[in-house]
Amino acid sequence: MADDIRSAVDFYTRHPISVDIILEKLKAARGHLDGVTPEDLFAHDQDHYGGLAANDALAARAGLAAGMTIADFCAGLGGPARYFAHRYGVDVTGIELTPARVAGAAALTKLVGLQDRVRVVQGDVMAPPLDDASLDAVVSQEALLHVPDKTRALAAAWRVLKPGGRLAFTDWVAHRSLSDADRDLMWRGMAVATLYSPTAYGALIERAGFALEGAEDLTPAWGVILTERLAMYRKLRGEAEAAHTPTGHDAFYESYVRLVELVNERHLGGVRFAARKPA
């Protein structure tokens, strides 16, 4: 297909949620963009599964507290980073590969006045531009699936964390092996590079030097969330078709439909991992 995904950067450059769409929704809700607060933005800029509640659960696993310095691997448009800074009083550096999302994150962060505590920089989480042993926590949400070498990303997290620092993240897992056709579709539609079983993923974390402290199965909750999101996406595509306007990336839609089936059939799913770098 001509619109197949060829890389994670390609996927997120063409992602259906962009800074322009967020600003349009924000303006529609408020009537203007003057005096926007972080709370105004949170209703529109959280693109991960579970919204603010998922942020709070991840913050608890990471032990976030005022004054901590953390990194958000694959930070996207910076929604969680801004939330963590505003809600928990932490300083956040997001690492994001896609230039358009780095620029979008900067614009949204400046809009709500959090640029002194949040920055999203362009970089690769397999080799992030962060100092050794400089951070209290590393977090990430539904993004490491795009990373071709999770071992390098986990080693990078271990490197940048202080002794005793915490790693907390959610990611896709494969409860059962996918068919070749499904693996191809997940790559073409959503740039899914690597998937592991929960057990194999936990072993990767431990081999990176971490003490694994928790692996919470999120698959049932994700099934509900993804089914609801697909219904919303179908509605938007139908409205676009009726208006004779572009309906979006076809391969993404096809892969999303199949993802919902695979999660509800428990072929794919999600896990929230928590680990600690030994002191």
Q: Identify the structural domains of the chain with CATH numbers, from first to last.
A: 8-174+193-218+270-276 (3.40.50.150)
Strand locations in 232-276, DSSP E?
Answer: 268-276
φ, ψ (nearest 5 deg) of residue 165 = -70, 160
**17, 18, 115, 195, 254 from 186: Cα distances, Å:** 18, 21, 35, 11, 9
For residue 235, what pLDDT band results from cuts at 50, 70 and 90? Answer: confident
pLDDT mean over 20-49: 93
Which pLDDT score, from 0 to 100, does residue 273 have? 98
Residue 32 has pLDDT above 90, yes or no: yes
CB 267 within 8 A of CB 176: yes
Give the strand pairing for 211-217 and 69-73.
Answer: unpaired
For residue 18, what pLDDT band results from cuts at 50, 70 and 90? Answer: confident
pLDDT mean over 69-75: 98
Interatomic CA distance for residues 216 and 23, integer angstroms: 34
Average pLDDT, the chain: 92
